[in-house]
A and B are shown apart, each in its own frame.
Chain A
Amino acid sequence: MTDYLVETKGVYKWFPIKGGILARTTGYVKAVDDVSFGLKKGETLGLVGESGCGKTTVARLIMRLLDVTKGQIFVDGEDVTKIRGVRLKSFRRKLQIVFQDPYASLDPRQTVNSALTEPMRINHIVRTRSEAHDEAKRLIRVVGLNPDHLSRFPHEFSGGQRQRIAIARALAVEPEIVVLDEPTSSLDVSVQAQILELLKDLQKEFDLTYLFISHNLPVIRYMCHRIIVMYLGKIAEEADMLDIYESPMHPYTYALLSSAPIPDPDKRKGTALLQGDVPSPINIPSGCRFRTRCPFTTAFCAETEPELEEAGLGRLVRCHYKIDFVSKTAAERPRAVAQSTQQ
């Protein structure tokens, strides 16, 4: 048996596209296409990719905010894709989510106190009103606000403060896993640093497991232990944080890293490595789905789709060639290796 707290096995989510008068299904948006991974207790797993790569859909599937088309998701060893009723409710206590936009995720007509105590009461974590209030006071201090704030409404707070409230609300039911869906994307950098520090502290204090979704590579580097890079609904590469950043083996990972601007004028990039945009998830390219933008593509890539294969200890790469892009020189990279594999 594995020691994963959350494990997905061959998860698919295809959204049907209906067309015509009979609303027949004319195609599918393949948002998540055969995704399997595991999340260990106490670690932070980063899901990274460009918009439309399926990272948020994966989170929603795990949260049971969406139902899978096919596949299984295990939380604490229990397949949660079909559970209902009481079991679903107790499952929801284990998993909480913090959304990107704290302006949309808090009820504007609910005081902070009510937002924090409602989930406690529903889940019978507290017995009395005063106990709930004490608990809310404790939580609000934990996230760095003060108890005076409890009687206020969301509009009285800044973006960073609202995100703190959203985090406190997630913690109210004492979850094991918190899904963080771009938690700092709408915040200013100085406030972002505060929130990231808070999340790290909370993880230590409450022994939390994080699924951290972001398109921001520096933030992912700062927060995560393990990283999954997604491209068009599939995992392109999965590895430990340092492996991803120091020796990426999928050309997409390499391209993503080389396009992230570095706040250091001595490290200017010059030209952009990737041309064009991500293709539509409705018409996915044949063979390797990254080949239309891959700077190192070969004829072989159009014919055969690569599998997610092991490439060294604890890392998985979906590429025929699996080259270490940082340490290999430019001449070694593309064609030479391509030819040797094709023979």
Chain B
Amino acid sequence: MRESKLLESPKTLAGETPVLEVRDLRVVFHTYAGDVKALDGVDLTLRRHEILGVVGESGCGKSVTALAIAGLLPENTTVSGQILLDGRNLSELGKEEMRQVRLKDVAQVFQDPMTYLNPVLQVGFQIIEALITERRIYEKLLIDQRLQEIDQIEKQDTNTMQTLEKERASLQASLQSGAISKGQARELARDIAIQYLKLVRLPEPERVFKMYPFELSGGMRQRAMIAMALVKRPKVLLADEITTALDVTVQAQILALLRELRDKIDASIVLITHDLGVVSEVCDRVAVMYAGNVVEVADLHELFKNPLHPYTQGLMAAVPRPDRSTVKLESIKGSVPDLIYPPSGCRFHPRCPKAFAACPQRKPPPIEVSKGHQVECLLYGG
């Protein structure tokens, strides 16, 4: 069963291992009201260079999954299962090691940028803050970037060669001696930040660098947040409802940007959203979550053409469409269950139109129905 999840999509290279693998992730929040069983054995695979959509309603555990990957869950939680980033198990790491992972490998962008930006610091400083204060971690990144630039300038213009040669030598020296000064780091980081502000298509990046968050519009703030996440060259970018607070026209811009970035940067993206429209706009593969389980995973086109899980089917029938008239919306009866007392067996059974006798008794195992299309539902066996 495990092996089946590693099957390659046409886009990924054959034989390549996934960048992130979540295996049997369970999260329980201990609250005064009782234990909230938020995640009930979540399996997810993020392939290199892909955008994986995680879709579901509020309370289904999509954000908790992201927080668990980033190691940002609060103290009152019990986490079990494995989170493998390039084969390294993150769930075994201590606090300091996890902090290093967040600094270097896993970056996050959230729904409301105003909550995550410091209102009294310039946007530019916030983008490079990590690069300067943790300059030892980013040393190679900072210097490499500049060396590449020097190479480029030399190709175009041979006159400035001498001064650049000097700079190159000093950079290489500091790379070897293993310590660059704070001032040096600051200068290098600034160049990188402005490059990334350009990359996320912010107009006048030099000016934006010096602006404060309140001077930016919602869309610009979200672009700045994306720049801040990418500047560290993470392996994985967790994007949690990043367009939910934006107007449709701005949302379209940010989604177009995400697609563009995917081709330019080296990060793999987990895009969490409740909106099936957003999913079909940018994702390569989709995982549908319900009440702490991944109920269905498939390639984007496959999922929309051939949704198998009754919940996925219900979700698709419940969304009105902008491009055609719907006579009657099919709603899913009832509402999301209370996860302190989750339903037995399949957690969807009380709302499921196709539930039968076995559903309340057994938790459905993941079944691979066709290549890369996996569903957790007893209708398909198990």
A residues with CB within 8 A of B = 50-51, 158, 160-161, 188-194, 196-197, 215, 217-219, 221-222, 242, 245, 255-275, 277-278, 293
Contacts and interface: CB of A to CB of B under 8 A. Distances in A.
B320 A190 contact: no
Nearest to B327: A222
Given A189-B274, A259-B249, A268 B280 contact: yes
Interface in B293-328: 300-301, 304, 314-323, 325-326, 328
Main secondary structure of the interface of A (DSSP, over half): helix
A263 B274 contact: no
B318 A263 contact: no
A257 B318 contact: no
B301 A261 contact: no
B335 A255 contact: no
A326 B325 CA distance: 17
Contact of A275 (B253, B304, B331): B253
B57 interface: yes
B320 A265 contact: no
B335 A50 contact: no
A269 B281 contact: yes
B126 interface: no
B276 interface: yes
Contacts of B332: 190, 193
Given A161-B335, A274-B253, 17 more contacts: A188-B57, A190-B314, A193-B317, A245-B323, A257-B322, A259-B252, A261-B275, A261-B281, A262-B322, A262-B323, A263-B304, A265-B280, A268-B281, A277-B217, A277-B218, A277-B250, A278-B247
A94 B278 CA distance: 39
Contacts, number: 133
**Chain B residues touching A, range:** 35 or more
A218 B280 contact: no
B152 to A, nearest CB: 27
A263 B279 contact: yes
A193 B326 CA distance: 12
A218 B318 CA distance: 11
B248 interface: yes
Contact of B322 (A196, A260, A271): A260
Contact of B57 (A51, A190, A219, A255): A190
A219 B329 CA distance: 11
B72 interface: no
A190 B250 CA distance: 25
B196 to A, nearest CB: 19
